[in-house]
Structure 1
C-alpha cells in the first residue's frame, strides 16, 4: 500500500527531521520526500494492508507542518472515435 501526501516541507533539513520522527513512530513504513515536486511530496509505503493516514498527518501537524493526502486520480487514455465516413 502507498499513500502520497502534499506537504509544506520546504527544505531537506526539515525533511530529514521529519523522516527521523516518522521512522521512530512508524518503523514498518518506507518513507521519503520528493521536494522537487511542486506539492513537496511525502510518500509512505507499507507492506501492511493499511497505512495510518490520520496518525501520519497528526504527527506532522504536531511538529508544525501541514500534510494532505493526494487523491488517486486515474486518467484513462483518450479514446479515438472513428469518424463516420458514410454520408448516405
Structure 2
C-alpha cells in the first residue's frame, strides 16, 4: 500500500463488493492489516475482492 488515498479507495471498493461488513486498515502496521467485522464468514469474498484489485490477502487467526 503506497498511500492513505489508495487505502481509502480499497476500503470503498471492498465495502461495495462485499456487503454487510465494516472494513478498515491499520496503516501503522508494516503489513497494512485490513480488518473486517461481519456477522458471517466473508473470508473468500474479501480475499477474492483483494486479489481482483491486485493485492495479496490472507486470513490471520
TM-score (norm 2): 0.84
Q: Is the 8 A contact 2:24 2:36 kept in 1?
A: yes
Residues matched between the structures, number = 61
Gaps of 5+ in 2: none
Task: State the 1:43 CA deviation.
Answer: 0.3
Pairwise CA RMSD: 1.3
2:50 is matched with: 60
Q: Which has the higher strand share?
A: 1
SS at match of 2:51: helix
Q: Which has the higher helix share?
A: 2
TM-score (norm 1): 0.62
Looking at both structures, which has the greater relative contact order when contacts are Cα pairs under 8 Å and sequence separation is at least 6? Answer: 1
